[in-house]
Amino acid sequence: MTKNKRNIRVTKPKETAAGTPAVISSAKHILSEMSLQKGTKILLNLNQKEGIDCPGCAWPDPDDERSRIGEYCENGAKAIAEEATSKKLTLDFFSKNSVSDLVKLTDYEIGKKGRITQPMYLPKNADFYREISWKDAFKLTAEHLNKLDNPDEAIFYTSGRTSNEAAFLYQLFVRAYGTNNMPDCSNMCHESSGVALSETLGIGKGSVKLEDFYETEVILILGQNPGTNHPRMLSALQKAKKNGATIISINPILEAGLLNFSNPQKLSGLLGAKTKLSDHYLQVKINGDMALLQAIIKLMLEEEEKKPGSIFDLDFIKEKTHGIDAYLEHIRQLNMDDLIAICGIPLEQIKTVVKILSSRKKIIACWAMGLTQHKNAVDTIKEIVNLLLLKGSVGKAGAGTCPVRGHSNVQGDRTMGIYEKPSNIFLDNLENEFNFQPPRDHGYDTVKSIEAMYTGEAKVFFAMGGNFLSATPDTNYTAKALENCDLTVHVSTKLNRSHLIHGKEALILPCLARTDKDLINGNPQFVSVENSMGVIHSSRGNLNPISDKLLSEPKIVCELAKATLNDSTIDWDKYLEDYDHIRDNIEACIPGFEQYNKRVRLPEGFYLPNGARDNNYFTATGSANFSISKAEAQQLQAYEFLMMTIRSHDQFNTTIYGLNDRYRGIYNERRVIFMNPRDMGKFGFEKQEVVDLYNYHGGTERVAEAFIVIPYNIPQQCTATYFPEANVLVPLKSTAKKSNTPASKSVVIQIKKSISDTKITS
Ligand code: SF4
């Protein structure tokens, strides 16, 4: 066996999230990147009314009272530390560090270098970025765009940090230029939720508000780890528990944040008092969720048939839904033993959950990537909807759907029209308002964009934020795709791997961060965002920008549009006088934004209309739809494992804050694979042995080298690894049906002993 020579430390996984360790960790991260004074200035404003919206996840802020000292979580503090760091990347840095040297660093090391302070250009065949003026950067980009044979040879990516104002202008520019090639990070996260919810409930967003958590009876949490990914959700769960709710968690791994919570905003929490969160924890096999849901529903149906109306909400079903008879017939035909074999949950445990659900009328279902990144993700989410419809648990207080979004404005960007498949109504509105003909053909999503760049059909890649290479699957394939481009352009705050695996020419355009003041002629501007529950609210940075050469994202879009578009019918200069003009145009084009400029100035913002919340279903049938799906077992050979990629606790999407995963007990290391101890024994792997991971999808060998085996409480033949390190194994062509989201949570791998403990960096 190859024993690792690395500095890894492994402890027992934690059973309680947050508490004092979270406060200490927050302070450490803040103080490692900035002064106490600067940190305090930001944190006291973070998530406050009229303050700075956290650039982390999209969990909502309370509508009413907010803690004056800390309306944020540990990972919010880490996000701030990372974004508002005082470290700067000067020209000296770029002249001393070649791209070929920088690319050897890990994502963590690259991210720790600091903020980019001026536009940078990498000429053809050069190995060092050099400074370029903004004027020349726009000119170069415009020249590349204008020499393409067809606008569809360009791709315009968006990450979920982009504000509503920037996103609206960006899609407007891209469509005025002539393409709908607008992939975004949604394609890789909640696209499956959007598709499933649109078809069943008529709106591709969740239906619940934060207050619903406080009056619900049951919260189902599926494939989600809020302790790391949406930590303030734990306060909502705590309050729900206090009000009598039962929490049922369904997840392959026991996560500290689903077990117990010590609230760091309360003295009792800091002193160690904890709230037990999950009353029942079903450790389902990876992707066994649909089978489990169907098993639950089948048992409920058996009881309902003994005494009609005792379990299901028959009035709701009759008045508001479509397809009940065929659905129930389908459920009757299912074989309980098959469902149990697929989900791996014993019948007794399922019966316990059935008993709880049967007697309750207000249920909230929450989920995240653990559900959305499977081939059958859309159908699994529809099965959640089936359960809620049977119980009449949509369209009323204390009940509904809650797909928890990962990035702070990913939902808002889609609302603003960042979508490769825009509706005709939206395009008509653009046409009427701006007097140009937007393209009608659908564009490329993320997966199709990568394929188009790989084959040479796309030649220019422009990214509004994000770290595309580290966020996407099949790393080696995607790297080649980016390298094939004539030009890659990234609007960024900090250096990342996507700047170092680049097109023939490359640009980095540095922008203001969420925490930065944005002034036009001395007048402060604000932007707005939409959280996971459809609340639109403002965000105002309060720091002096780290450099006077940074531009806001709206300014970058407008200047690029002016440099690129001849005879544009759009008055781009107007937007740079005041962002109210952008919001006026949003109001004119997108329903729900009436009196936008007035209502966005309300301290708590305003809710967008939501049919499902109001018990109105704008679907093809005019009702909420039941759907029929078949749960299928993942076929694995005896020597194969199912791998899901996960985040560590020191991580937000592709940003790596540190090398620890405190809750899971892993320190100083990220190249680890969590395995069931019985599987380890069966295959002769020892604790902390170094192994290589292989995937052979489509006849291509994909290898991720030098992972350390960690024995862990996870179902047999299931494994977990951190992304982006394991993204190299995720086949680009293995995607969810209908949503085309890469199936990063069900990657078939083989695990082989490693011959050496090579330190791999990418
Ligand atoms: S829960 Fe999400 S939005 Fe709130 S502070 Fe934490 S990371 Fe930021």
What's the gap in Å between 231 CA and the centre of ligand 1?
6
Please indicate whether residue 714 or residue 46 has the higher confidence score (pLDDT). Answer: 714
Instruction: Please state the atom number of ligand 1 nearest to the C-alpha of residue 74.
Output: 6
Question: Residue for token digits 């792997």?
Answer: 685
Give per-residue pLDDT as tens, 63-77. 777 777 678 889 999
Q: Cβ contacts of residue 600 below 8 Å, gap of 6+? A: 528, 536, 537, 538, 583, 606
Give per-residue pLDDT as tens, 499-528. 999 999 999 999 999 999 999 999 999 999
Average of per-residue pLDDT across 642-662: 96
156 lines ligand 1 (CB under 6 A): no
- The C-alpha atoms of residue 98 and residue 444 are separated, in whole angstroms, by 33
Q: Are 385 and 401 in contact (CB under 8 A)?
A: yes
72 lines ligand 1 (CB under 6 A): yes
Give per-residue pLDDT as tens, 598-614. 999 999 999 999 999 99
Task: Give the residue, by CA position, lying nearest to ligand 1 atom 8.
Answer: 76
pLDDT of residue 64: 74
514 lines ligand 1 (CB under 6 A): no
- The C-alpha atoms of residue 64 and residue 425 are separated, in whole angstroms, by 35
What's the gap in Å between 606 CA and the centre of ligand 1?
19
484's enclosing H/E stretch is helix 475-484
Q: pLDDT band at residue 540, thresholds of 50, 70 and 90?
A: very high
Q: Give the domain ranges of the chain.
A: 17-83, 88-180+439-511+550-603, 204-403, 641-753
What's the gap in Å between 653 CA and the centre of ligand 1?
13
73 lines ligand 1 (CB under 6 A): yes
pLDDT of 47 over the 60 cut: yes
Probe target for ligand 1 pocket from 42, 69, 72, with the most ligand atoms within 8 Å of CB: 72
What is the amino acid identity at position 186?
S
pLDDT of 329 over the 50 cut: yes
Task: Give the residue, by CA position, lying nearest to ligand 1 atom 3.
Answer: 57
Task: Give the residue, by CA position, lying nearest to ligand 1 atom 2.
Answer: 57
What CATH code would you report for 641-753? 2.40.40.20
Burial 601-622, CB ≥16 within 10 A → b, else e: beeebbbbebbbbeebbebeee
Instruction: Please state the atom number of ligand 1 nearest to the C-alpha of residue 46.
Output: 5
29 lines ligand 1 (CB under 6 A): no
**Strand locations in 438-486, DSSP E?**
460-464
Give per-residue pLDDT as tens, 188-210. 999 999 999 999 999 999 999 99
Give per-residue pLDDT as tens, 85-140. 999 999 999 999 999 999 999 999 999 999 999 999 999 999 999 999 999 999 99
- The C-alpha atoms of residue 527 and residue 682 are separated, in whole angstroms, by 56
For every residue of 602-669, DSSP letters joined together read STT-EEPP-TTTTT---STTSSEEP-----------TT-EEEEEE--TTEETTEE--S-BGGGTEES-
Give per-residue pLDDT as tens, 359-398. 999 999 999 999 999 999 999 999 999 999 999 999 999 9
pLDDT of 625 over the 80 cut: yes
75 lines ligand 1 (CB under 6 A): yes
Average of per-residue pLDDT across 669-684: 97
Q: How far, in whole angstroms, is CA 526 from its chain's centroid?
A: 24
Pairing of strands 672-675, 718-722: antiparallel
pLDDT of residue 758: 59
Instruction: Please state the atom number of ligand 1 nearest to the C-alpha of residue 233.
Output: 1
What's the gap in Å between 652 CA and the centre of ligand 1?
10
Ramachandran angles phi, psi of 170, nearest 5°:
-65, -50
pLDDT of 536 over the 80 cut: yes
- The C-alpha atoms of residue 727 and residue 474 are separated, in whole angstroms, by 6
Domain 204-403, classified CATH 3.40.50.1360, yes or no: no
- The C-alpha atoms of residue 668 and residue 526 are separated, in whole angstroms, by 39
pLDDT of residue 761: 41
Percentage of the chain lying above the pLDDT 90 cut: 91
232 lines ligand 1 (CB under 6 A): yes
Probe target for ligand 1 pocket from 23, 69, 73, with the most ligand atoms within 8 Å of CB: 73
Give per-residue pLDDT as tens, 245-299. 999 999 999 999 999 999 998 888 888 899 999 999 999 999 999 999 999 999 9
Domain 88-180+439-511+550-603, classified CATH 3.20.20.70, yes or no: no
Q: Is 268 exposed, middle or buried (0-12, 13-18, 19+ CB in 10 A)?
A: exposed
287 lines ligand 1 (CB under 6 A): no
Token pair in block for residue 277: 């969160």
pLDDT of 666 over the 70 cut: yes
pLDDT, the chain, mean: 96
Q: Is 8 exposed, middle or buried (0-12, 13-18, 19+ CB in 10 A)?
A: middle
